[in-house]
Amino acid sequence: MTTVIETFPAGPLGCNCSILVDPASKSAVVIDPGGDFPTIRAALERAGARVVSIVHTHTHIDHLGATGPLQAWAGAAAHIHEDDRPLYEMLPVQAALLGIPLPDPCDMEGDLVDGGTVTAGAIELAVLHTPGHTPGSVSFLARTPEGAVAFTGDTLFRRSVGRTDLWGGDGAKLIRSVRQKLLTLDEATPVVPGHGPSTTIGEEKLRNPYLRPLSGPRPG
Ligand SMILES: [Zn+2]
Ligand SMILES: [Zn+2]
């Protein structure tokens, strides 16, 4: 029995929603339920899973569109980093800007902190505060019996990084977060970004044009 990790695009902007299920206890964590609640529920039902935590890499509307119905159905707590609280309060503005419906309300706890952990059976998510895309952006390093996987939200993408021109964005902080908290992970670590295809830490170290090496040949 191995840990189930399923990732699929959900919601109006195709945010990567991931479900992680511990095979022994059937406890599950859902990361970024961006929308399409029936699809998320179906994936959880297929796995026979019981959701114990709903966590968010950050508080942009496209990452939490299905949190309300998922919480109502599963009865699980939902979590963000408290530095993103203003974004939660600005959800009506986010909805208006994108022209998408306002998500159902949920009970959002601002208790994800750097160095903290979220557990579901044998699965342990280490919380890494990686501000820059938003002030409360976090990445999760999921440790399972089969190995570790990083969920980097809109902080690090395959060959790109998150935009920093939205509310609370900070380009210098984002690059510092990626270098200090993500590129320091084992190079073999698979990375599931907030949108688009997966990658690895080693690949991004080598090939991400936004993360040129710090050392190396210099002119003069
Ligand atoms: Zn975002
Ligand atoms: Zn996003």
pTM of the predicted protein model: 0.95
Q: How far, in Å, is the centroid of ligand 1 from the Cα of 219?
A: 37
Q: How far apart are CA 100 and CA 149, in angstroms?
A: 31
Q: Is the dihedral of CA 101, 102, 106, 109 positive or negative?
A: positive
Q: How far apart are CA 182 and CA 203, in angstroms?
A: 12
Ion ligand 1 — residues with CB under 5 Å?
A: 60, 154
Q: Is the dihedral of CA 39, 120, 16, 71 positive or negative?
A: positive
Measured from the alpha carbon of residue 162, the closest ligand is 1
Q: How far, in Å, is the centroid of ligand 1 from the Cα of 91?
A: 13
Q: How far, in Å, is the centroid of ligand 1 from the Cα of 210?
A: 17
For residue 202, the 8-state DSSP code is H
- Taking only the tens place, the pLDDT of each residue in 122-148 is 999 999 999 999 999 999 999 999 999
Instruction: Specify which residues 126 forms β-bridges with.
Output: 117, 141
| E-only strand ranges, 92-203 | 108-109, 117-120, 123-129, 138-144, 147-153, 156-157, 160-161, 190-193, 199-200
Could you give the percent of the chain with pLDDT greater than 90? 95
Q: From edge to edge, which strands make up the β-sheet containing 117-120?
A: 117-120, 123-129, 138-144, 147-153, 190-193, 199-200
Q: How far, in Å, is the centroid of ligand 2 from the Cα of 15?
A: 6
Q: How far, in Å, is the centroid of ligand 2 from the Cα of 49?
A: 25
Quick one: pLDDT band at residue 215, thresholds 50, 70, 90?
low
Of 60, 4, 55, the closest CA to residue 29 belongs to: 55
Measured from the alpha carbon of residue 87, the closest ligand is 1
Element (H, E) at 18: strand 15-21
Measured from the alpha carbon of residue 155, the closest ligand is 1
Single-letter amino acid code for the residue at 137? S
Q: How far, in Å, is the centroid of ligand 1 from the Cα of 120?
A: 25
Integer angstrom CA distances of residue 108 from 29, 79, 88, 137:
15, 6, 8, 15
Q: Which residues contact 202 (CB under 8 A, 6 or more apart)?
A: 187, 188
- Taking only the tens place, the pLDDT of each residue in 147-192 is 999 999 999 999 999 999 999 999 999 999 999 999 999 999 999 9
Would you call 117 helix, strand, or coil by DSSP? Answer: strand
Could you give the percent of the chain with pLDDT greater than 70? 96
| Buried b / exposed e along 105-119 (16+ C-beta atoms within 10 A) | ebebeeebeeeeebe
Q: How far, in Å, is the centroid of ligand 1 from the Cα of 8?
A: 17
Q: How far, in Å, is the centroid of ligand 2 from the Cα of 207?
A: 22
Q: How far, in Å, is the centroid of ligand 1 from the Cα of 133?
A: 7
Quick one: pLDDT band at residue 4, thresholds 50, 70, 90?
very high
H-helix segments, 31-160: 37-46, 67-74, 85-89, 91-98
